[in-house]
Amino acid sequence: MNSRRSFIKKSSLITLGTLNYNFSPIITDIDGVDVSVITYSFNTGSEEANVVVQNCLDSGIDNIELMGNHIEKTLGIPRSRRSYADWRENVTNKQLKSMRKFFNDNGVNIFAYKPNCISSGNTDGEIEYAMRATKALGADFLMNELLDNEDVDRVNYFSKKHKVKVGYHTHSNNLGSNKMATDQAWDYALSSSKNNYINLDIGHYINVRGNTRESLIEFIKNNHKKICSLHLKDRQYGKIANPGVSDNQVWGFGDTPIDKVLRLMRDNSYKFTATIELEYRIPEGSNRVKEVKKCLEYCKKALIS
């Protein structure tokens, strides 16, 4: 954790576009637990890097899982998806390192990078780009959705070549999905490469039928050495995801024991990060940054109790 805090925080922001904001050093280490945020929480669109940094500063969090669309838009990815693969394969490490410098100079650390270019439909060149980007950004992990075994093997080749650790993320009771967050979901990925880790979404885990609060705690205890991060959200037991009626709840009103998980991390000195992922509906009169701050306060209250 301290190694991820080794960069020097500046007193004011450099600019990409028009950004000018003075701030004091941010601390998101709460009683030994590192609390981070996935940039998806602020907005699901493709905001450029300066907007992401501003959101981090305004919310009070300095450690992020960075979604790839933000830096790709900043670096000028073409509008046509048909050009994506060629563009990614030609992005230089110098360009990617400039993004790392921008975030670090402004007090924000990228602990994980989640590109949107690792699936059966992406080229080997795109996967290699994702590996290069993860290293150039200074991230500890590349995050990705859990893949079929054949595609896991393909990623394993490049993760070994580039010495990149990959955290795999699963979902819940989505219709037709075979990537649900069961206790066995990560078995092949973990057994096929020492570079593979678990990115555990505790809300999705609770949403899977048959999983319980007790089994969640036991899964974390049994697998803590291979967990790279947790996604925090509050979902309900066993409900099919419905685009019109989400079961994601304001924290504390669902079935996910976020507070108990955080205290488990604290009491056992687990070193992986707990990542805020805001997915519940934004209350009237609020916004995503305000709600991320509320989630951070929830974490603080849970950890000082």
Each residue of 269-289: b (16+ CB within 10 Å) or e?
ebebbbbbbbbbeeeeeeebb
Query: What are 223-266's pLDDT values in tens digits?
Result: 999 999 999 999 999 776 555 557 899 999 999 999 999 999 99
Q: Which residues of the chain have pLDDT under 70?
A: 1-27, 173-178, 240-245
Q: Is 202 helix (H, G, I), strand (E, B) or coil?
A: helix
pLDDT of amino acid 173 = 62
The percent helix, strand, coil of the chain (3-state, each to 5) is 45, 15, 40
71: enclosing H helix or E strand: helix 68-75
* Neighbour-count burial of 187, counting CB atoms closer than 10 A to its CB (0-12 exposed, 13-18 middle, 19+ buried): exposed
pLDDT of amino acid 14 = 41
CATH superfamily of 2-304: Divalent-metal-dependent TIM barrel enzymes (3.20.20.150)
pLDDT of amino acid 174 = 56
- How confident is the prediction for the chain on average, in pLDDT? 89
CA nearest to 270, candidates 280, 281, 262: 262
The pTM of the full predicted model, rounded to 2 decimals, is 0.90
pLDDT of amino acid 47 = 86
The CB-side HSE value for 58 (13 A sphere, CA atoms) comes to 17
The CA distance from 141 to 134, in Å, is 7
pLDDT of amino acid 23 = 43
pLDDT of amino acid 246 = 72
Query: Would you list the domain boundaries of the chain?
Result: 2-304
